A = this chain, B = another copy of it.
Amino acid sequence: MGNQKLYKGSLQTIILKLLETNDKMYGYEITQHVKELTKGELQITEGALYPALHKLEADGLLAVEVAKVGNRLRKYYKLTESGTKETANKLEEMQEFLKTMQHLVNPKFSME
């Protein structure tokens, strides 16, 4: 996932957030979407993405739907009910984390 270790730990949250916004997506689509959204800053590697998707599925947060496009298959992922709840939790945690880090590294611009 990119070259920056800062993103370590945030992949699940990123995936869940994308699926909250876009309803259903397939793996390759996610990598391209993130690349565009971040102007190339963040490149999710497939070696990180697919295991992450499988784990989210195994944990019951995502459901899969296989589609055939031409002669190739795509695996569309979407949030389950508990996935939607967990997404809300994870986004809250992420906001808290971002606020805390902002405060730590740049106290001037994060006064409350």
Residues of chain A having any CB pair with chain B under 8 Å: 4-10, 13-14, 17, 34, 37-38, 41-42, 91, 93-98, 100-106
Contact = CB atoms under 8 A, between A and B. Distances in A.
- The main secondary structure of chain A at its interface with chain B is helix
A77 to B, nearest CB: 17
Given A6-B93, A37-B104, 17 more contacts: A4-B9, A4-B93, A6-B10, A7-B9, A9-B9, A13-B105, A14-B104, A14-B105, A17-B105, A38-B103, A38-B104, A41-B100, A42-B104, A94-B105, A95-B106, A98-B101, A98-B102
A94 B98 contact: no
A7 B38 CA distance: 20
Contacts of A95: 105-106
